Amino acid sequence: MTDFEPAIIAFVCNWCTYTAADLAGTSRLSYPKNVRLIRVMCTGMVDPQYVIKAFLEGADGVLVSGCHPGDCHYINGNFKARRRIKLLKEILPQFGFEQERLRLTWIGASDGIQFAEIMRELTVQLRTLGPNEAKLRMII
């Protein structure tokens, strides 16, 4: 299992975390290629089904990341996202998904360094946790 590389799907909001990722890039910071960014306009538009689909397709981790509380471009989308993540963290573990596979973070537009750090840390954590069961077997 030493050569296991986790696949991480990150739903990042256009206004904060995606911009932070952009900043990390223009600042020539590097972060693991395990992370696949999906840009959304707001974390508040991340329907739970997107997260469920990612896991069932074999993602080892899913990150939802947006603006800090109070900074949401749409006023309160991130607060709604937080409740949805809470909901998923209650449902998914009942089917054996470890809570740690699903993460929510606030990364502001100017937090390029923090963005790269969190991606590195997340990759290390998931490498230790091992692969998602759905990746290995046929699920229905």
Q: Which residues bind another protein (CB under 8 A)?
A: 48-49, 52-53, 56, 69-70, 76, 79-80, 82-92, 94-97, 103-106, 118, 121-122, 125, 133-134, 137-140
Q: How far is the CB of 123 from another protein (least distance, A)?
A: 11
CB of 67 to another protein, least distance (A): 12
Between 15 and 106, whose beta carbon lies closer to another protein?
Answer: 106
Nearer to another protein, 26 or 70 (CB): 70
Question: Token pair of 13, please?
Answer: 């909001």
- Dihedrals phi, psi of 69, to nearest 5 degrees: -50, 135
Pairwise CA distance, residues 92 & 138, whole Å: 18
* E strand map for 73-118: 102-106
Q: Kindly report the length of the chain.
A: 140
CB of 89 to another protein, least distance (A): 6
> Taking the CB of residue 91, how many other CB atoms lie within 10 A of it?
12
Q: Give whichever of 5 and 121 is closer to another protein, judged by the CB atom.
A: 121
Report CA 2 to chain centroid distance, whole Å: 23
Decide whether 25 or 58 has the Cβ nearer to another protein. 58
Dig out the tokens for 136 from the structure. 């290995």
> What's the closest the beta carbon of residue 93 comes to another protein, in angstroms?
9
